[in-house]
Structure 1
Amino acid sequence: MRTFVAGQEAADKNEFVELALGIDVDLFRGPLEKETTEERRARRDVAREVLRDLRESADAGDEVAGWDALYADALTRTVPFVRAARAQWAGTGAAA
């Protein structure tokens, strides 16, 4: 079965989510698997640029870009909590 969002075909479930939301969740949240320090720095630089563009579009009257900016900003704030919790589950957190 083929899946289309806004006239574009989604190749897989990740692409479907990206097309439906209008943003790449992993760009702001970060990948759930490990990334190098250099990869993280590059991803965050791009995420900041995209977030800035979304905010500029929102300020110019694009309501969808405004909601996307809020969602992307929220994603960037949830990652440390998730990673910290995962580290504690693994026995490597501050409590270990």
Structure 2
Amino acid sequence: MRTALILCLLALSACGPMSPEKAAERCEERARMAQGPTGHLTLGVNSSTGGYVGGSIGVSSDYLRGADPMLVYERCVVDLTGQDPIRQPDLR
């Protein structure tokens, strides 16, 4: 019984607000995605199968809506922490 209560309390504590630094990191990534499409391309050749190519393209809903990346960052931090951002985002 005590073990179940302890596990339940630990699970509930994990649902609390996120640290401001962790929120800033997560929200910077979301704001970067609001700046434009993301992606990568892989080209290569190997001796077993010959040439290969692969890639991916990502487009966020914030980008499609034309949302301002700074506002995306600020709203995201407030949603995750209940506080204003502690620093300006690095959107490079």
TM-score range, shorter chain: under 0.3
Q: Which structure is larger by alpha-carbon Rg, 1 or 2? A: 2
TM-score calculated relative to the size of structure 2: 0.28
Greater strand proportion:
2
Greater helix proportion:
1
Which protein, 1 or 2, shows the higher relative CO under an 8 Å CA cutoff with sep ≥ 6?
2
